Amino acid sequence: MTDTGIGASVKRVEDQRFLTGNGNYTDDINRPDQSHAWILRSPHAHATLKSVDTSKAEAAEGVIAVLTGADMAADGVGGLPCGWQIHNKDGSPMLEPGHPPLAVDKVRYVGDQVAIVIAETRDAARDGAELIEVDYGVLDAVIDMDGALAGGSLVHDNVPNNRCFDWELGDKNGVDEAFSKADHVVSIDLVNNRLIPNAMEPRAAISEFDRSTGQYTLYTTTQNPHVIRLLMGAFVLQIPEHKLRVIAPDVGGGFGSKIFHYAEEAILTWAAGKVHRPIKWTAERSESFATDAHGRDHETHAELALDKDGAFLGLRVATKANVGAYLSTFGSSVPTYLYATLLAGVYTTPVIYAEVQTVFTNTVPVDAYRGAGRPECTYLLERLVNKAARELGIDPVEIRKKNMIQADQYPYQTPVALQYDCGDIPASFESALKAADYTGFEKRRAASEKDGKLRGIGISTYVEACGIAPSAVAGALGARAGLYESAQVRVHPTGSVTVFTGTHNHGQGHETTFAQLVSESFGIPIEHVEISHGDTDQVQFGMGTYGSRSLAVGGPAILNACNKVIDKAKKIAAHIMEADVSDIEFADGKFTVAGTDKEMAFGEISLAAYVPHNYPIEEIEPGLDENAFYDPLNFSFPGGAHICEVEVDPDTGTTEIVGFTAVDDVGRVVNPMIVAGQVHGGLAQGVGQAILEGCVYDDDGQLLTGSYMDYTMPRADNLPSFSVATQSVMGASNPLEVKGVGEVGAIGSPPAVVNAILDALAPLGVEDISMPTTSQKVWQAIQDSNVRQAAE
Partner 1 sequence: MEMSGEYKIEAPRNKVWAALNDPQVLKQSIPGCEEIEQTSDTSFTAQVTAKVGPVKAKFSGAVELTDIDAPNGYRISGEGKGGAAGFAKGGANVKLEEDGSGTLLKYEVDAQVGGKLAQLGARLIDGTAKKMASQFFENFAEAVAESDGKETAAPEAEAAPAAGSDTTPLAQVSIGTWVVGAIIALGIIYTLVK
Binding site for partner 1 (CB under 8 A): 38, 40-44, 110, 126, 129-132, 284-286, 289-290, 698, 700, 702-704, 706-707, 709-710
Q: Which is nearer to partner 1, 40 or 80 (CB)?
A: 40
| Least gap, CB of 706 to partner 1 (angstroms) | 3
Amino acid at 502: G
| Least gap, CB of 660 to partner 1 (angstroms) | 31
Q: Which is nearer to partner 1, 111 or 233 (CB)?
A: 111
| Least gap, CB of 54 to partner 1 (angstroms) | 13
Chain Cα centroid distance, residue 487: 21
CA dist 326 and 159 (Å) reads 11
Q: Which is nearer to partner 1, 118 or 404 (CB)?
A: 118
| Least gap, CB of 28 to partner 1 (angstroms) | 22
CA dist 270 and 215 (Å) reads 12
Are residues 294 and 236 in contact, defined by beta-carbon separation less than 8 angstroms?
no
| Least gap, CB of 707 to partner 1 (angstroms) | 5
| Least gap, CB of 290 to partner 1 (angstroms) | 6
| Least gap, CB of 43 to partner 1 (angstroms) | 3
Q: Which is nearer to partner 1, 69 or 706 (CB)?
A: 706
| Least gap, CB of 449 to partner 1 (angstroms) | 37
Distances (CA, A) of 523 to 244, 594, 682: 37, 18, 32
CA dist 461 and 468 (Å) reads 21
Q: Rounded to 5 degrees, what angle do the CA atoms 387, 388, 392 make? A: 120
In the chain, the largest separation of any two C-alpha atoms, in whole Å, equals 95
Q: What is the DSSP string of 728-786?
A: -----SSTT-B---TTHHHHHHHHHHHHHHHHHHGGGT-----SS--HHHHHHHHHHHH
Q: Which is nearer to partner 1, 114 or 666 (CB)?
A: 114
The single-letter DSSP state of residue 255 is T
CA dist 186 and 314 (Å) reads 11
Are residues 713 and 198 in contact, defined by beta-carbon separation less than 8 angstroms?
yes
Residue 605: which H helix or E strand, with range? helix 602-610
| Least gap, CB of 69 to partner 1 (angstroms) | 17
Q: Which is nearer to partner 1, 430 or 700 (CB)?
A: 700
| Least gap, CB of 387 to partner 1 (angstroms) | 34
Residue 157: which H helix or E strand, with range? none
| Least gap, CB of 103 to partner 1 (angstroms) | 14
Q: Which is nearer to partner 1, 131 or 746 (CB)?
A: 131
Length of the chain: 792
**Residues near 412 by beta carbon (within 8 Å), at least 6 away in sequence:** 405, 419, 420, 423
Q: Which is nearer to partner 1, 46 or 739 (CB)?
A: 46
How many beta carbons lie within 10 A of that of residue 572, not counting itself?
Answer: 27
| Least gap, CB of 47 to partner 1 (angstroms) | 10
Q: Which is nearer to partner 1, 46 or 316 (CB)?
A: 46
Q: Which is nearer to partner 1, 15 or 130 (CB)?
A: 130
Q: Which is nearer to partner 1, 284 or 767 (CB)?
A: 284
3-state secondary structure 181-228: CCCEEEEEEEEECCECCCCCCCCEEEEEEECCCCEEEEEECCCCHHHH
How many beta carbons lie within 10 A of that of residue 604, not counting itself?
Answer: 18
CA dist 446 and 453 (Å) reads 9
3-state secondary structure 329-364: CCCCCCCCCCCHHHCCCCECCCCEEEEEEEEECCCC
The pairing of beta strand 584-587 with beta strand 412-413: unpaired
Residue 84's DSSP bridge partners are 479
| Least gap, CB of 297 to partner 1 (angstroms) | 18
CA dist 193 and 694 (Å) reads 6
Q: Which is nearer to partner 1, 134 or 579 (CB)?
A: 134
Q: Which is nearer to partner 1, 290 or 340 (CB)?
A: 290
What b/e string do you get for 118-134 counting C-beta neighbours within 10 Å, with b at 16 or more?
A: bbeeeebbbbbbebbeb
